[in-house]
Amino acid sequence: MKTIGILTSGGDAPGMNAAIRAVVRTAIYNGLKVKGIMRGYAGILQGEFIDMNLSSVADILQRGGTILRTARCEEFKQKEVRKKAAEILKTHGIEGLIVIGGDGSFRGAQLLSSETGVNTIGIPGTIDNDISCSDYTIGFDTACNTAIDAINKIRDTATSHERANIIEVMGRNAGYIALYAGVAGGAEIIILPEVQWNINEICEKITYGIKRKKLHHIIVLAEGVISAAELDKMIRERLPKLDLRHTTLGYIQRGGAPSVMDRILASKMGARAVELILENKSQRVVSIRNNKIVDDDINSALSMKKEFNYNLYELSKILSI
């Protein structure tokens, strides 16, 4: 019987557990054995392997985080360390490895496979949605829902006090969470790394909003631009009388029960990853594009460029006049 390994690597994301469950259950359904590897690539080197059965993944579908834990493992960037990892995998009988993570984790999986022959399959798990080959990544939808929940609450108090509020959301160098949460949360202003912005235009928009008696001004800011505190200072310098507050949502966006969208995406991706192993495929990343589950060679997946949704950004400007 073939044995596969599964690990989560890089930043955690809600829905990773749903993907682990899908991998384990699909693998067992197809007669494979599964070993869970704790703490990403570091767990291979430290020999942290767990035999997974059907009940190892019971009651995790609805839980945020990852039961396999996650860690960063700098030494995995060294060729000799990856060689050692492959030897350890071999001693545990692991022929295929499924890696749930981001770009960095996929780079590690690609090198491990091309250098040592271990079959590797990547599943995109990150709240940032910054993996080019996939329209959506596991965790993004949940993070957006968490962000709009917070925006709704801040909007209540902003309206009562007729205040402006800056809400800084995560996303690393990408503005997907800010864009989606900003549109869904009815933000007046959305500031993203992908779009040029001008502080004077932002202040003009706030001033215009005050003149037309808007009750609040919600500014959604992507963390990859500047910090909420810095933007707060820039606005105060220009509009000293404005009643302004800022909030950084931070790690609440990384946790919580995964949304329906994330659970389904994770279930489909996890199952497809196992199918690819059964087809003896290697160095592939599972993605969703145009609502279809597809897979690509890791190298070509890593070199793809994702088209930013400028139409949605333009729509946000029309809807917030």
Binding site for ligand ADP (CB under 6 A): 9-11, 41, 72-74, 76-77, 101-105, 107-108, 111, 126
Handedness of CA 229, 232, 238, 240 (dihedral sign): negative
Does the annotation list 196 as a binding residue? no
Name which of 11 and 182 has its Cβ closer to ligand ADP.
Answer: 11
Q: Is 253 annotated as a binding residue?
A: yes
Find the shortest distance in angstroms from Cβ 104 to ligand ADP: 2
Helix (H, G, I), strand (E, B) or coil at 68: coil
Q: Is 105 annotated as a binding residue?
A: yes
63 is annotated as contributing to ligand binding: no
Rounded to a whole number of angstroms, the minimum distance from the CB of residue 79 to ligand ADP is 9
User: From residue 112, how far is each of 96, 120, 133, 142, 254 by CA, in Å?
Assistant: 11, 8, 20, 31, 28
State which residue, 143 or 187, has the beta carbon closest to ligand ADP.
143
Orientation of helix 228-238 relative to helix 199-211, angle to 10°: 60
| Rounded least distance, CB 301 to ligand ADP, Å | 13
Q: How far is the CB of 100 from ligand ADP (least distance, A)?
A: 9
For residue 247, list its beta bridge partners: 167
Name the residue with the smallest CB distance to ligand ADP: 104
- Judged by DSSP in three states, 95 sits in strand
Backbone CA torsion sign across 169, 170, 174, 179: negative
* Dist CA 73 CA 62 (whole Å): 27
Helix, strand or coil for residue 178? Answer: helix
Task: Judge whether 214 is annotated as a binding position.
Answer: yes
* DSSP bridge pairs for 169: 222
Per the annotation, the verdict on 12 as an active-site residue is no
Looking at beta carbons only, is 104 or 256 nearer to ligand ADP?
104
Catalytic residue among 12, 128, 130, 232: 128
Question: Which are the contacts of 226, defined by CB distance < 8 A and separation ≥ 6?
Answer: none
User: Which one, 75 or 243, has the nearer CB to ligand ADP?
Assistant: 75
Contact residues for 79 (Cβ-Cβ < 8 A; gap 6+): 111, 115
Annotated binding site: 11, 21-25, 72-73, 102-105, 126-128, 155, 163, 170-172, 186-188, 212, 214-216, 223, 245, 251-254
List binding-site positions for ATP.
11, 72-73, 102-105
As annotated, the binding site for ADP includes: 21-25, 155, 186-188, 212, 214-216
Question: Which positions are annotated as active-site residues?
Answer: 128
